[in-house]
Amino acid sequence: MNLPQKTPTYRAWLLGASKLLSDAGIESALLDAEIILAHTLRKNRTYIHAHDDDMLDSRQLEIADARLDLRRERTPIAYIIGHKEFYGRSFKVTPATLIPRPESETIITVLKEIVENQPQKLFDVPQRLVDVGTGSGCLGITAKLEIPKLQVTLADVSHHALKVAENNAKSLDADVDILHSDLLEAYSFSPICIVANLPYVDQSWDRSPETQYEPEIALFAEEDGLHLINKLIEEAETRLVPQGYLILEADTRQHHTIITFAKKHHFEIEKTDGFILALQKR
């Protein structure tokens, strides 16, 4: 007679899982194990710790172990659970979109400062903002929800990414427009602001193993990572309203080169904050 095998308690699974993740070189081993188990159980992490003597059933164990294997192979946790928090909101992500980074939240902080501090004359025109290379839509959707008066367009060259962005806009009740466009090519308005987290990674740079799972089109650019940023600066020069803003994310080692290039196209530096550059059209 074969007796059913005993499944582990939540505590035992977490201990074993965090050890395996740590052995795989993952620094956030315990946190990732907790997120995987919480997602599998459809509970929050607080619940898990309050019921750590509860046992997984066989199906839960199978699912949790499969997700653990993916994480051990360095699949990003956001792709495993299907979402990532950005500026206090949950955004769906898929392998067709870049995973939102905490440092990108600074774009929203800088945008809000600019909108609050600008003279009214800049806002006498329609208050349009375009999020170029929107991916999951986290920047443009957050901009709309934080500053409702903005007329926001989410633009991307990837149809798959735009579908994810559209679904995020619907789930978060953000009234935005969706546009398939290579940078500003198909955008027919003159915005007061352009925000963009474009690909800026050079293929030669050292990077996290997790990035191998993210879309190359959203990560890498030629010309030391600056090809698309420079192209957008050129397009923004003729498209932004006078005194309008271009807010970019780029590696800090690229900032000096970007600023030098932007000055040749009638932009001046308004603000730098970590990875973020805010440029104003002269």
* pLDDT score recorded for residue 1: 44
pTM of the model: 0.90
* pLDDT score recorded for residue 203: 85
Query: Using CA atoms, how far apart are residues 183 and 238, in angstroms rounded to an integer?
Result: 13
* pLDDT score recorded for residue 191: 96
* pLDDT score recorded for residue 217: 85
* pLDDT score recorded for residue 6: 84
- pLDDT tens over the chain, length 282 residues: 455 568 999 999 999 999 999 999 999 999 999 999 999 999 999 999 999 999 999 999 999 999 999 999 999 999 999 999 999 999 999 999 999 999 999 999 999 999 888 766 555 667 999 999 999 999 999 999 999 999 999 999 999 999 999 999 999 999 999 999 999 999 999 999 999 999 999 888 888 888 888 888 888 899 999 999 999 999 999 999 999 999 999 999 999 999 999 999 999 999 999 999 999 999
The full set of domains in the chain, from first to last, is 10-73 (1.10.8.10), 95-281 (3.40.50.150)
* pLDDT score recorded for residue 5: 65
Plot region of 155 (φ>0 → left; ψ -120 to 50 → alpha; else → beta): beta
